[in-house]
Amino acid sequence: MPLFGRRTEPAPAATTAGSPPPDSTVPQSPTAGSSAPHRRSRSMFARRRSSSSDANSTHSDTHNGTRDRDRSRSRRGGLFGMGGQRKSDPLLDKDPHVMAARDKLTAAERAEQEADRALESARRAVLEAREHCKQLENQAIEEARLAKAKRTAAKGLGKQAKGLGRHN
């Protein structure tokens, strides 16, 4: 039995292999005004829909994310989605305490933006320093390889030079 709702249809005794089990959260009772059955979710977080065509388009739109992006764009901005549009009292706009608070708020926002820029700059500097260290290590490895080859070549030449000088 659902926690916050009641079941309006009787539970079937057994289901046959050919028929799908009934959906307990969707009562299928077509109304006189609509040709398609209206589906209703019993979830406490369910949205209300105005029509069945809207219900069909909601699934396809949210499936590819267009409706979610549009909704997120429309809800952006300001504290609690106010978007900076506030109803203000002209007397409060001239109040020195309110003006000082607004000035502090804008200064804090500017400081936060500058801190974000500084953080991004520091991250870039760290990445550049790491890349420079990798290049330096690779260069040292290459120089060591060349030095080893040079030493090996010098040993070979030294062995050849030992055989020289018997006519002196």
Query: Would 145 be classed as within a structural domain?
Result: yes
In a domain, 61, yes or no: no
Residue 51 counted as domain residue: no
Q: How far apart are CA 58 and CA 69, in angstroms?
A: 13
Give the helix/strand (H/E) hosting 146.
helix 96-162
- Asked if the structure places residue 104 within a domain, the reply is yes
Residue 167's pLDDT band (cuts 50, 70, 90): confident
pLDDT of residue 130: 98
In a domain, 55, yes or no: no
φ/ψ bin of 33: left (φ > 0), alpha (ψ from -120 to 50), beta (otherwise): alpha
Quote the number of domains for the chain.
1
Residue 27 lies in a domain: no
Beta carbons within 8 Å of 159's beta carbon, 6+ residues apart:
none
Calculate the average pLDDT of the chain. Answer: 72
What pLDDT digit, counting tens, does each position of 139-154 carry?
999 999 999 999 999 9
Q: What is the DSSP code (8-state) at residue 2?
A: -
Q: Is 111 domain-assigned?
A: yes
Query: Does 85 have pLDDT greater than 60?
Result: no
Residue 123 structural domain: 93-156
Mean pLDDT of 43-51: 59
